[in-house]
Amino acid sequence: MGTTFQKTIRTAGLIGKYHSPEVAASLPPLADFLRERGVRVLVEEGLAGSAKVSGGETASYEAMGRQADVAVVLGGDGTMLYAARRLAGFGVPLAGVNQGRLGFMTDIARDDMIAGIADLLAGKFTAEPRLLLAGEIWRDGARLGGSLAFNEVVVNKGDLGRMIEMQVEVDGEFVYLLRADGMIVATPTGSTAYALSANGPILHPGVAGIAIVPLCPHALSNRPISIADGSRVDITLISTHDGRVHFDGQERFDVRAGDRVRIARSPLSVTLLHPPGYSYYAMLREKLHWSEPPKR
């Protein structure tokens, strides 16, 4: 899966979780290793403010997007999600060093960081494109706002302790009225995130699809469904209670009755870089503990 990434890396961007002792400890040796091999190092400005690196240049996400041949992300999946959304418009491929708990998207183990980056510089990594979703909120014919999502767009009840009601359409065709805690619209990447905890399907990254997963539906017949990645999903809030729209759990908008959330595949994409020997199924076995005998 994926194609060999053999681009000559002259400039590398370093992105990491802020105020993380693990990231602060990993950053200097990584920057030193890159510079010793003639690679220019750009350190994301927020990270530079919380972790000291000698010899690295401070750069905004925009500057990094314009100049970097690759971005190395130190952290967990949340850090990777944020970096992916910020750099999506620039086409910078991302390699992740796992400093978090699960690490579905950060493939390089912290203890193998230097060896992994050496393989990256040697052209031994593979590149895999992943789709993004673009979501918009509309009210009375006017666009209120929107954002990108690498994992999922979630429409939910916000702070309410009760269900909300939504009308769901795909490509302009009525699907159903849903009374539930909310709805998740997930990419294949996001199918192993929030959608999985809501009993959604796991979609292989090579599947050109989008998962629609109800959150605690009132009717047990409202099951998750996978649709084509070229489809458009419209979710109209018809409840008398307000709701909320979340993009990857990192950006949110408040919505009210009559508002429409329109979700479709973005023309932008994210490229993840995987080390030698990477296997999607092996990753699932490791993270989801498949094949392990039950504990007694």
Active site residues: 77
CB 90 within 8 A of CB 66: yes
What does residue 179 show for φ and ψ, rounded to 5 degrees?
A: -105, 115
Taking the alpha carbons at both ends of the chain, their separation in whole angstroms is: 37
Q: Could you give the C-alpha distances from 275 to 107, 257, 293, in angstroms and in order?
A: 7, 47, 29
SS3 165: strand
* Three-class DSSP labels, 219-265: CCCCCCEEEECCCEEEEEECCCCCEEEEECCCEEEEECCCCEEEEEE
Q: What interhelical angle do 113-121 and 21-36 show, nearest 10?
A: 40
The C-alpha atoms of residue 217 and residue 219 are separated, in whole angstroms, by 5
CB 156 within 8 A of CB 145: no
Beta strand pairing call for 243-247 and 251-255? antiparallel
Rg, C-alpha atoms of the chain = 20
Token reading at 220: 């047990």
